[in-house]
């Protein structure tokens, strides 16, 4: 399998991981920590390329350090796919310049 195909498949897994985090926020009563951890673990375990592994690690660090602290995915104000919220998402998410420059 070519590197491009491996990267494309891994990016699909990254997209699934992002969706998993969003679904956990939207449906907290339906996605238990056990289910969340199981899906997350499976997605991460099945990554094959270092570049996407790095993206996944950076996403997880970003969510754990910044998104949660700053309530970026506040359940009351951020519900994707409702009205124009999806179009306004770019104004609600502020990514750090680099994760390494803003360590705890």
Sorted by sequence, the CB contacts under 8 Å of residue 39 that are 6+ apart come out as 16, 20
CA proximity to 1, closest of 56, 12, 53, 9: 9
Q: What is the pLDDT of residues 32-76, one digit of tens each?
A: 889 999 999 999 999 999 999 999 999 998 887 776 665 665 555
Q: What distances in angstroms separate CA 49 from CA 3, 7, 12, 44, one per listed residue?
A: 8, 6, 12, 11
Assess whether pLDDT exceeds 60 at residue 78.
no
Supply the pTM of this predicted model.
Answer: 0.65
Q: What pLDDT band is residue 15 in, cutting at 50, 70 and 90?
A: very high
């Amino acid at each position: 399998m070519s590197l491009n195909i491996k990267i494309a498949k891994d990016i699909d897994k990254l997209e699934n991981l992002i969706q998993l985090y969003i679904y956990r926020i939207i449906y907290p009563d339906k996605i238990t920590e056990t289910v969340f951890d199981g899906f997350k673990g499976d997605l991460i375990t099945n990554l094959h390329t270092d570049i996407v592994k790095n993206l996944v690690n950076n996403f997880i660090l970003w969510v754990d350090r910044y998104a949660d602290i700053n309530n970026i995915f506040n359940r009351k104000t951020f519900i994707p796919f409702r009205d124009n919220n999806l179009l306004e998402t770019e104004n609600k998410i502020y990514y750090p310049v680099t994760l390494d420059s803003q360590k705890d």
